[in-house]
Amino acid sequence: MLVGRLAPSPTGLLHVGNARSLLLAWLAARHVGGAIHLRIEDLLPDGDLHLPELLADLRWLGLDWDPWRGHDFIRQSARSPLYDALLADLLARGDVYPCVCTRKDIDLAARAPHVEDKGAAYPGTCRDRFANEQEALAFEQIRAQQENRPPLGVALRLRVPDAPVTFVDLLHGPQRVVLPRDSGDIVVRRKDGGVAYMFAVVVDDWAMAVSQVVRGDDLLEVTGQQLAVYQALQRLDSSHLPPFAGLPQYAHVPLVLGDDGRRLAKRNQSLHIGALRRDGVSADRLRRWLATSVGLAPTGDLAELARSFDWVSLPRAPMRFGTQERAELDTP
């Protein structure tokens, strides 16, 4: 059975673009009678700020989900013991190493990176530099003293393979990523001790036996990094995870852009689902607009949309949702 997931981050409010990607994930799973689980990606401090509104938005949209192991949904913030146990094992194997570098990508590592965040590849400065985490920590403490600042913690990085990583995206076709050139070794735990998005997402997709990942295409280029995490976990063969059920099929769907041609984000407040709801837009009207935008017949009936769903009709170009489209939702 196909297993999909809805994996929103409640750091911001859901906007039309998020809703469209979530709807596509839902339709792709329900079309084939598959299951879909809800996973709240709340790894950042204050990462659950908008959780109540997020749940209200999903329910209002009419998207349902299947419980996982007796839980209505799971929250990554509650899963640190699993992530930490796996990181400790990877560290013991030498697949992961401590890193004291102060780089912007370490700050960015906690959340799903989006296109504009892309920095240079990590040059591997701390590869084979420290015998263990304590040594790295001692190094950082001395440096902090010299620089007259409080010590930061130590990050953990995963060694990426030299060989190209390949996969086939359902919409973008064959992909080939050379990780040492494109990203370098990946941060899997931040300096503040929190686990990085790139690691948690794979651990959870594996643990939940997710077989299809549908998400915005700004994450296409980090998928290779996630496959490197899969490879490392496969080598680990840990009892903390169920047996490996295979890699998911990835489908990276076009983003929704605002009037300014940039992807919808926190600044587009009037296009948040909650704002539409409060403005009196009906869920059926929004679903009908979303259905047309993904190439389906204009109906807000989710069962009907799930029946008629077809990847082939999905437009491949980014979708626009600006002032004009917002006004269309006011017409019945």
Contact map string, positions 218 to 247, toward ligand GLU, x by CB under 6 A: -x----------------------------
Within residues 83-142, the interface with ligand GLU by CB under 6 A covers: 112
Task: In angstroms, give the least distance from the CB of 12 to ligand GLU.
Answer: 8
Q: Which stretch binds ligand GLU (CB under 6 A): 7-15, 117-125, 243-251, 272-280?
A: 7-15
For residue 90, give every residue at least 6 positions away whose Cβ sits within 8 Å of its Cβ, in sequence order, or none: 96, 158, 188, 232, 236
Which residue, 90 or 201, has its beta carbon nearer to ligand GLU? Answer: 201
Q: Where are the beta strands (DSSP E) in the chain?
A: 3-6, 35-40, 74-75, 96-99, 155-158, 165-169, 173-177, 186-189, 212-216, 249-253, 256-257, 319-320
Is 177 an interacting residue with respect to ligand GLU (CB under 6 A)? no
Give CA separation, 166 vs 8, 137, 173, 233, 327, in Å.
Answer: 26, 36, 11, 17, 43
Is 20 an interacting residue with respect to ligand GLU (CB under 6 A)? no
Within residues 184-203, the interface with ligand GLU by CB under 6 A covers: 201
Kindly tell me which residue out of 20, 159, 191, 215 binds ligand GLU, with binding defined by CB under 6 A.
Answer: 215
Q: How far apart are CA 284 and CA 300, in angstroms?
A: 5
Q: Which stretch binds ligand GLU (CB under 6 A): 6-14, 50-58, 143-151, 180-188?
A: 6-14
The single residue listed with the structure tokens 């938005």 is 57
Is 17 an interacting residue with respect to ligand GLU (CB under 6 A)? no
A 10 A CB-CB count for 74 gives: 20
Return residues touching ligand GLU (CB under 6 A).
7-9, 41, 112, 201, 215, 219
